A and B are shown apart, each in its own frame.
Chain A
Amino acid sequence: MSAPLHFQTIAELSAKLAAGQLSAVELTQAIIARTKAVEPRVHAFNSFDEADALDQAAASDARRSAGQSAGALDGIPVGLKDVIAVAGQPLTASSKMLANFVSPYDATVTQKLQRAGAVLHGRLNCDEFAMGSSTENSAFGPSSNPWDLTRTPGGSSGGSAAALAAGAAVATLGSDTGGSIRQPAALCGLVGLKPTYGLISRYGLIAYASSLDQIGPFARTVEDAAIMLGAIAGHDPRDSTSFKTVIPDYRAELKTRRGPWKLGVPKEYFGAGLDPEVGAAVEKAIAFYRSQGCEIREVSLPHTPYCLDTYYIIATAEASSNLARYDGIRYGHRTSAAKDLLEVYQKSRAEGFGDEVKRRIILGTYVLSSGYYDAYYLRAQKVRTLIRQDFLNAYREVDALITPTSPIPAFKLGEKSADPLAMYLCDIYTIGVNLAGLPALSLPCGFTQSGLPIGLQLIGQPFREADLLATAHAYEQAHGWNTQFPSL
């Protein structure tokens, strides 16, 4: 029995569109209808423009009639996290600071998706300026987890995950700086991929931590993630940190790359703080790979205990600098209560930013300030070298690493928002990956007894997303976790 349209995959839907069984307009209408039905409960979107989405869908149908279909994504509704610029659309970062900001330019990934014919459907909620792990830091209210509306969908790309899980999009883009794609994917039962740093252009992504941020796809299946990745990956001359590397046909490679693989299990990722149900599900997944002939080796990433601290120094330092431009001068919120220039700055920023953003700006400014740079920022960048070296050492022995994505399943709204440090601990398994610049994905590997999704993380080698996807695909094909949907 086929799932309803709004839960079908890119692969299924593009085949139907190609076969003329479905029009892009019909598909977009279905997604819009679903969105309207679930949004009051899920709040995945900051905004969406129904008329504009239908226009794009109509254009897709016209292309197809003229025999000029752009490929697998042509006519597919894709939602973008509200930190990715689309010309003429709001770009709010879920912040009061940018509540009324309309972008005059497109991000590179936006242009790529448009060239691929995707229907860009809506601006997705997130933690403010991508800082958070639950979407509760959004200035426009949190999103809810479609699997249990009293719980968070994770963050910072919570809206991107919630929309997809609820059927309000066919695929979405998020961004990942410390786990902000993978953790929500795990909490919402989805595939979420963070590529190698430099694979996808950051031009048009509101910067949080420049040396850690990457855009990546949320999808229902590994194949869908491969399709999305193929559309948006590639060198961009407008991003000096983007890499010139050959982009394989990720989707096609899924069929040709087979195991067995040597998988490493980092012992530091299975210690205190790991929920027993999550741990059990991941162990089962490891057992599956072993049963398929994969060699499973315990490895050590000894600097794991320092990942969180290293991340919070580097990320906040870079963020404090990246967010300096939000000053109420050229754009964004300007206070009406300033008596001089200084107050324009101080009050606009005080009124425009939420607590978590302020905390990270303060921390970041502090670690860069005179007298503290060496002890904090410089030291953290050195520890980062050691963290990266840990992974590269492990890769001398294994092809990929297998870990839980999040130590816990989706937690209750409000549960962790009083204690920032408790919130930061959600990211302990994802953060090292960003520091090392490696690719990683989360895919569903089970449910808790109470029906909450559990995510499995696979961490790959630099620029070898094709191998990573194939490894994930092998697991997914043998399990049906992604054929279960929330009963929303």
Chain B
Amino acid sequence: MNYEAVIGLEVHVQIKTHSKVFTRVGAGFGHEPNTLTDPVVLALPGTLPVMNKAALDAIIKAGLLLGCDIAPVCKWDRKQYFYPDSPKNYQISQYDQPICLGGAVEIELPGAARNVMGEHKKIPLTRIHLEEDVGKLNHHATDSLVDYNRAGTPLMEIVSEPAMHTAEEAFAYLTSIRNTMIYGGISDCDMEKGQLRCDANISIRPIGEKKLGTKVELKNLNSISYVRDGIAHEIKRQLAVVAAGGKLVQETRDYDGVAGTSQSLRSKEMAHDYRYFPDPDLMPVHVDETWKAELRRACPELPFDKQRRLIADYQIPYTITSVLIPDRALSDFFEATAQLAGPGRSQAVGNWIANDLLRELGAAKLPLSASKISAANLAALIQLIDAGTLLNAAAKEVFATMFATGEAPAVIVARLGLASAPTDAGELEAWCRESIAANAKALAEFKSGKDSAINAFKGPIMKAAKGKANPKLVDETLRRLLAEA
């Protein structure tokens, strides 16, 4: 019997706001322990929550980006359970009236080859809701230490339908969410900083079976690769159990990314009964059309939409877009430069950015925002090359200088004397005639229809010109003379 895996992902995205979701103390990462707390965060007696407007804006924007229905009315519920990282021993969340319903995440699977765009799919979502993050537990030999800096940070929970079937799809799904959230300015999605977290629900069933099999929840998938590897490992494990005639048990398992193994978490002594009820300290949220329209205006183009548009409008290859798209600023820089450089030069623009600029940035360990090369200057450089004023070797040198100093290419070219010399027309014609006269074989071949024979004349001409003749002019002059000859 053939089985298929069914995977649903619960992804938590930390929203990048200045203050926490239900109180105004600062939110952040990497601070000294318990320095980002206030009476509300610590759940001191008598404290009350107040919603953060920016967190609401962010989640509605996320919902709009992912094609969700934004609920006209939503509310807050208390999810009750005792744990040291949860100061109130309830988490303010949304239970039966989440702010976003439905929606979908577009994913791209690996193509047949590196330069071939892979299949695109849309993974449907169930819902997205807003809740507060919990503190951090640091485990030691005989005790644990609790840091509440993270407690109260706004967290989006994105729940997918159980609609993925491979670890690869899960990896693509997480990548897509990350790119979309970064584009939207909603989160930096740095998994190392806990800004993007993922739990997976995995089951298997015979192909053709509609009912879902026994579900296993997989936790501690704290890098994107671990998500893929952990899911792949779990699918294998489940298949092996079934193949050996065993029965799968509904459980939670903890993935060890280093060892590549998972183990069952000791089943909790008590089953969770979250006793959800509407939080009496908070008022409902009403989202009207005006608010949605305002946020829609602030929504960027989605990464995949942008990718498709760049390929169609600029005719740049897929491989270049794959490099540009994940960084919104980089792809914006590409467009700005391509617009300035003019039609027919987009591929050159793409190459310079994807290869040369990224290389320079990488070597200098700088982000794009620190680059001194403006779109106008890069466009100008490409125009110079295209006009033949600047030859390739010289162009590389100019680019390196542009990166170092931020100067315009023309200024650098002039200072370093790198221009292909403005060629005297008479002198050029003389060199051309000499070269033609000196190479009867090439002349005969050219006359008989071999166009590439023209290149044989160019070497001696360039030598005579000390490498500084404008190749375009050389070619034009040769052809004119050859036509007459």
Contact = CB atoms under 8 A, between A and B. Distances in A.
Interface of A: 83-85, 91, 93, 98, 101, 103-105, 107, 202-207, 210-211, 237-241, 317-318, 321, 324-327, 329-331, 341-342, 345, 365, 368-370, 373, 377
A206 B49 CA distance: 14
A210 B39 CA distance: 17
A98 B191 CA distance: 39
Given A104-B44, A345-B82, 10 more contacts: A103-B46, A207-B45, A210-B281, A241-B48, A324-B82, A324-B89, A325-B87, A325-B89, A330-B146, A373-B277
Contacts of A202: 46, 48
B42 A324 contact: no
Contacts of B45: 83, 85, 91, 93, 98, 101, 103, 206-207, 325-326
A318 B280 contact: yes
B273 interface: yes
B265 interface: no
Nearest to A85: B46
A105 B46 CA distance: 10
A240 B80 contact: no
Given A85-B46, A104-B39, A206-B45, A324 B281 contact: no
A329 B82 CA distance: 11
Contacts of B388: none
Nearest to A331: B44
B215 interface: no
Nearest to B271: A370
Contact of A324 (B46, B49, B80): B80
B280 A241 contact: yes
Contacts of A84: 46
Contact of B88 (A98, A101, A324): A324
A329 B283 CA distance: 29
Contact of B46 (A91, A321, A330): A91
26 contacts: A83-B45, A83-B46, A84-B46, A85-B45, A101-B45, A104-B39, A107-B46, A203-B46, A203-B47, A203-B48, A204-B46, A207-B281, A210-B281, A238-B48, A240-B48, A240-B281, A240-B282, A240-B283, A321-B80, A321-B275, A324-B80, A329-B84, A330-B43, A365-B275, A368-B277, A377-B277
B51 interface: yes
Interface string B38-70: 010011111111110000000000000000000
A373 B49 CA distance: 24
Interface in B88-108: 88-90
Contacts of A342: 269
Contacts of B42: 330-331
B193 to A, nearest CB: 24
B388 to A, nearest CB: 67
Nearest to B82: A345
A98 B82 CA distance: 19
A321 B78 contact: yes
Interface in B216-262: none
Interface of B: 39, 42-51, 78, 80, 82, 84, 87-90, 146, 148, 269, 273, 275-277, 280-283
Contacts of B50: 237-240
Contacts of A91: 45-46
Given A91-B45, A203-B48, A330 B275 contact: no
Contact of B281 (A98, A241, A330): A241
A239 B275 contact: no
Contacts of B39: 104-105
B53 to A, nearest CB: 12
Contacts of B282: 240
Contacts of B283: 240-241
Given A325-B43, A327-B89, A317 B277 contact: yes
A239 B49 CA distance: 7
Contacts of A93: 45
Nearest to A205: B46
B95 to A, nearest CB: 11
Given A91-B45, A203-B46, A368-B275, A329 B146 contact: yes
A207 B80 contact: no
Nearest to A372: B275
A85 B45 CA distance: 8
A139 to B, nearest CB: 15
Nearest to A341: B84
B280 A211 contact: yes
Contacts of A105: 39, 44
Contacts of B281: 207, 210, 240-241
B332 to A, nearest CB: 38
Nearest to A241: B281
B275 to A, nearest CB: 4
B280 A210 contact: yes
Nearest to A318: B280
A473 B271 CA distance: 57
**What 4 A-B pairs have minimum CB-CB distances, sorted nearest first?**
A324-B89, A210-B280, A368-B275, A211-B280
Nearest to A371: B273
Q: Which of B47, B48, B269, B283 has the most CB of A within 10 A?
A: B48
A459 B4 CA distance: 67
A202 B80 CA distance: 22
Contacts of A369: 273, 275
B44 A103 contact: yes
Contacts of A321: 78, 80, 90, 275, 277
